[in-house]
């Protein structure tokens, strides 16, 4: 989760089309995939060697925590790659939970996963 739109433009390559999307659609239910400009803005393990980064700014109370911190937070849908997103903690992959430093659980989820938008 990005701490703000300025952080995204500072650390990612943002085309005119991407800038318009970010301005008009974020915060919102999207994961925006952008080429990295500053490869040191997140730990290497976050990008797993890729030249792109998926950034989110959801309409959620936790986004204000991230904005206040001023640094990005790495978050997960608590599923293994290709698996279904969890809807309750009992459905979560144990190894994902055990690897987390912090787990914020708000009860059963009924929403949809974010929509991926590619600008690369």
**Structure confidence by residue, pLDDT tens digits, 5-63:** 999 999 999 999 999 999 999 999 999 999 999 999 999 989 989 999 999 999 999 99
Other residues' Cβ atoms within 10 Å of the Cβ of residue 8: 23
Task: Give domain status of residue 35, yes or no.
Answer: yes
Count of structural domains within the chain? 1
**DSSP code of 69?**
H
Q: What pLDDT shows up at residue 106? A: 86
Structural domain that includes position 23: 5-75+112-118
**pTM to 2 decimals?**
0.86
Q: How confident is the model over 83-113, as pLDDT tens digits? A: 777 788 887 878 878 888 888 888 887 778 8
Task: Specify if 85 maps to a domain.
Answer: no
What's the Cα-to-Cα distance from 102 to each of 57, 76, 87, rounded to whole Å? 19, 11, 18
What are residue 78's DSSP bridge partners?
Answer: none
């Amino acid at each position: 989760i990005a701490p703000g739109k300025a952080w995204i433009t500072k650390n990612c390559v943002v085309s005119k089309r991407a800038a318009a999307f970010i301005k008009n659609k974020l915060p919102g239910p999207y994961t925006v995939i952008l080429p990295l400009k500053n490869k040191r803005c997140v730990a290497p393990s976050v990008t797993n060697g890729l030249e792109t980064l998926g950034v989110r700014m959801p309409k959620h109370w936790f986004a204000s925590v991230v904005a206040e911190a001023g640094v990005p937070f790495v978050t997960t849908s608590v599923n293994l790659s290709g698996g279904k997103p969890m809807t309750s903690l009992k459905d979560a992959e144990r190894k994902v939970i055990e690897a987390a430093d912090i787990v914020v659980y708000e009860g059963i989820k009924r929403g949809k996963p974010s929509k991926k938008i590619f600008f690369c």
